[in-house]
Amino acid sequence: MMTFGQLGVKLLVVASLLFTVARASAIPKSDIVDKRAEAKVQTAYFTNWGIYGANFQPTDINVKPLTHILYAFADVRDDGTIFLTDSYADEQKHFTGDSWDEAGNNLYGCLKQLYLLKLANRNLKVTLSIGGWTYSQSGHFNFVTDAAKRTTFVNSAVQIVKDYGFDGIDIDYEYPANAEQGQGFADLLTSVRSAFDELAASNGDSVPYQLTAAVPAGSANYAFLNVPQMDRALTHWNLMAYDYAGSWLDFADHQANLYGGERTNVSTDKAVTFYLENGATASKITMGIPLYGRAFENTDGIGQSYNGIGPGTTEAGIYSYKALPLAGAQVINDMTVVASYSYDLSKRELVSYDTPEIATTKAQYVLSKGLGGQMFWDVSHTKRYRFSLMDKTGSSDSLVSTTANVFVSPTASGITSAATWARILPDLAEEYPLGFQRLYIREVLKFPTPDLAEEYPLGFQRLYIREVLKFPIMDIFGLRSGGRKAIRRAALLTSGPTMVLALN
C-alpha cells in the first residue's frame, strides 16, 4: 500500500508534468480580472507576533467577511533580499492536526495554516507584507535608491511567492523621506509588477498577482510619493487611516477621524482627496480602519491635555477592540467628524476607537467615493471567529471575492520551490481532500467545464481525476454511497459512452 508520503511524491511529479502542459495553454484574462479593482475588498492584517501575547492564531480568524489576509511582517536585508522574521511562528509551530512523527523538514507554522485557509476558501487571497514601522524606521528600505538592490528584491519577491504559494506581496515602507527615495520606491513597485506579470504568464494564470502598498494619511509622509507611477503598478493602496493621535501628542484627540483634524492637521478625507487628485485610481484605494483604540489618561476630553496612556491590552496605551468599551465608560459618536471614543468621567480616561456606527458610516463613504474597500489592522485585536466591524462594512457582491486565489505548482526551475511544495502537498491532500480536488482540477488541469463541476462537485471531480487521469491518489478518498449514478450522468454529459466505459 502506498503511504501518504509516497503519494505526495507522486503528486509532486504528476503536478509538475501537468503544470508544464497547462502553461502551454494559458487562459485569457476575463472581465472579472480586468474589473478586479472596481469591487469592494475586505483586507485584514495578521501579525506573526499575534500568536504570542494576544494568543490569536490563524485558526481563530473568521475568514467569511474577508477577501485578503496580509501576513506581517517579513523584513529586507541590506542587499534587498526578503526574509521571514520568526522561524517558529512562520514555519515551525505545530497546530492541531500537525504530526510530530513525519520524517523530513516539514512546513508547519502560520504559513501552513494560512495556506490551508486558502484551500478551504478558494476566493481568499493571502499575501506577504514586508516592512512595517519598526523595520522601516531602522533604515531597511534604504536599498530602494540602488538599482542593483532593487533587482535583488524583485527576484527575492518572485521566489518567496513561488516557494510559499502567496498571492503576492504588500510593501509597508514608512516612509520615503526625500524625492530620491520616493522615486526609488515607485521604480521598485514598477519592477515587481513586471516580474509578477511575467510569472503569471509563465504559469498560465489569468488572475494577476497582488501588489499592494500600505500608504500614509499624513501630508508630511506622503509628500514624496510618485502617485501616478505607483498607481500603474499597484493592485490596491492600503491607506493607513489611523494613528492620527497618540502618545506623541500633548493633547488627546481622535485617532481615525474621517473629517476635521484641525488640531492634528490630518483626516482620512484629506488623505483620500490627495491621492485622488494626484493620480490614484479610486477603486484601488482601500480605507484603513483600526481594530484597536488609543488611550489617554487624566484628561478632560478631546483636544485637552492628558497624563499617561494606561496599560492597554497587550501594549501600553493600546486597547484591543474586543476589550472596548472599557467598563464604566460612556461611548460618544461624533458624526460631524465621523469619529468615536469612550470616556470614563470618574477616571478621566478617554479611548479613541471606531464603533460599529462609525465603521458603517465609513463604509458608506467608501461607496460614495467609489473606493476599493476597507483594510483592517489587525485581526489579533478581535474576538475569536468574530469580526463585528468587518461584518458591518462587508460587501456581499464583491467581484474580487469571486476570483480564485493563486495556486503555484512546483517547478523544476528551483530546488527551494520544489522542496517546499514537497513538504506541504501531502498534508493538504490529507486534510482537505475536497478542496484539494477542486484546486487541482481548476488551477493545475485548467479543466473547462465549470458547470458540471458545480453541479456535481464531489462525484464529478473524483471521476475526472480517477477515471480519466488514472491518478491513484484519489482512490483513498473513495466514493459516497449512491454517488455512482450521479457520476455516470456527469460522465455521459461530458464525454459520452467512451468515458462511461471507464466506470464499468
Query: Active-site residues: which are they?
Result: 174
Helix (H, G, I), strand (E, B) or coil at 476: helix
Q: What DSSP assignment string belongs to 7-72?
A: HHHHHHHHHHHHHHHHHTTPPPPPHHHHTGGGS-EEEEEEEGGGGTSS---GGG---TT-SEEEEE
Say if CB 455 and CB 490 are below 8 A apart: yes
| Alpha carbons 413 and 452: distance in angstroms, whole number | 35
Count of CB atoms within 10 A of residue 159's CB?
16
Helix (H, G, I), strand (E, B) or coil at 80: coil
Residues 6 or more apart whose Cβ sits within 8 Å of residue 82: 74, 75, 76, 128, 130, 153, 156, 157, 160
Edge-to-edge strands, sheet with 339-344 = 318-320, 292-296, 349-352, 339-344, 330-334
Take residue 6 and report the three cell numbers written for it.
509516497
Strand 318-320 with 292-296, pairing: antiparallel
354-387 residues labelled b (16+ CB within 10 A) or e (exposed): bbeebbebbbebbeebebbbbbbbbbbbbeeeeb
Closest CA to 321 of 242, 253, 250: 242
Q: Where are the alpha helices (DSSP H) in 432-478?
A: 433-439, 450-455, 459-463
| Alpha carbons 459 and 456: distance in angstroms, whole number | 6
